[in-house]
Amino acid sequence: MTAPAATQPGLTTTKAPYIEAAQARGELYIVQPYEQYSDANHDTWRRLYERMTPRWARYANQRFLDGITTLSLDPTRVPRLEDVNQFMRPRTGFRAKPVSGYVPAFRFFDCLRNREFPTTITIRDGDVLDYLPEPDIFHDIGGHVPMHTDAAFADTLVKFGECAHVAAEIVQGISDTQEQLRTLTSIQQAMARFFWFTIEFGLMRGPTPDECKVYGSGLLSSFGEVQHAVESPSVQRAPMQLEWVINQSFEIHRYQPLLFVIDDFEQLFDDVRRLEQWMKDGKLNNVAPGGPAIGEADLRSFLEAGH
Ligand SMILES: [Fe+2]
C-alpha cells in the first residue's frame, strides 16, 4: 500500500493545492508537477481515453487521428507535456505550455501566434466524466493538441493570433473611451464566435459529400456530443459562412444546436485572413448582439497589449 495523501495531493480540477498556490502568487505560466498526479487522476485519464477511442475512430477527422498517432499518448497515464512536445514540435513548431488557469483573451491569442498552446494540467474529477464547465487536460491534450500536428491547421491558429494584434492596434487608436470599449467588445465577440464555431465545434465535409467528420476540440473531448454532432437529426449543419458565424450568438452549457461545416483547412485559413481584413475595414465593429459575454479581464488584455 502507498500513502497517496502524503505524496500525491492530486491535480484534480478545482481541488488542486498546487494550482491554488500558483494562482495566489499570480503565476499564470507554471511547470507541470507530474509526480503530483494521483492514482485516481491517472485512472480518470485511462477511463476517458478508453471510452473515447472508438468514438474518435468513428467521428473524428483523419487529421486528428493522424495527430493522435503522432503524439503517441499513453492511454493509461495522464500525458507529460514534455513528451507531447517532443513529438509535436518537429511537425509544426507548436508546444503545449502549462498554465494555472484562465488566460485572458489577448494573451491566449498571442501565445498561439508564438506557436504556444496554453494548456490546463488538471484533470476532471473521476466521478463526473461527462460534464465540467472548465477545460481540463483531457480537453486540451485529448481534444486540441492532436490538431496542432497538422501544418495547415497550425498556420490557421497562428494567423488567428495575428488577428488579435490587429484588433489591439485598432482599438488602442480610438481615443473616446466609451467608443473604444464598445468597438473592442464587438470585435472580440466576432473573434470568440469564430473560434467557437471552428476550433472548438467545427465539422469538416467528407469523406463522401454527404458525410462530415469532427475537427472541433470541444466535440472531440466530449463523449456524448461528438456523436450527437454528427448523428442527431436535430442539429443544423450549415456550410461555413463567415458573415453568419461572426453574428451568431451561442450558449456554452448545452449541446450545440447549430454547427458549421468547412471543406478543408485551407478554407479555414482563408476565412481567418478575411476576418483580419474585415477587422481592418471596420466590418466587425457592430456585430449582432448576444453571447458570448466579454469579460473585463479579456477587454483589459487587449487594451494593455504591448504596454
Ligand atoms: Fe478548448
pLDDT band at 306 (very low <50, low <70, confident <90, very high): confident
Cβ distance 285 to 186 under 8 Å? yes
Residue among 157, 187, 168 at smallest CA distance from 278: 187
Distance, CA 200 to ligand 1 centroid (Å)? 6
Distance, CA 250 to ligand 1 centroid (Å)? 15
pLDDT band at 7 (very low <50, low <70, confident <90, very high): low
Residues 204, 207, 212, CA angle at the centre, nearest 5°?
Answer: 35
Mean pLDDT of the chain: 95
Domains of the chain with bracketed CATH: 11-303 (1.10.800.10)
Tell me the per-residue pLDDT of 23-76, one tens digit each, with 9 for 90 and over.
999 999 999 999 999 999 999 999 999 999 999 999 999 999 999 999 999 999
Distance, CA 175 to ligand 1 centroid (Å)? 34
Phi, psi of 98 (to 5 degrees): -65, 135
Percent of the chain residues past pLDDT 70, beyond the cut: 98
Gap between the Cα atoms of 281 and 289, Å rounded: 19
Distance, CA 273 to ligand 1 centroid (Å)? 21
Start-end of H helices in 72-150: 81-92, 105-113, 137
Strands 203-205 and 212-214: antiparallel
Residue type, 269: F
User: Cell triple for residue 208?
Assistant: 463522401
Distance, CA 134 to ligand 1 centroid (Å)? 9
Burial of 121 (0-12, 13-18, 19+ CB in 10 A): buried
Q: 12: which strand partners?
A: 123
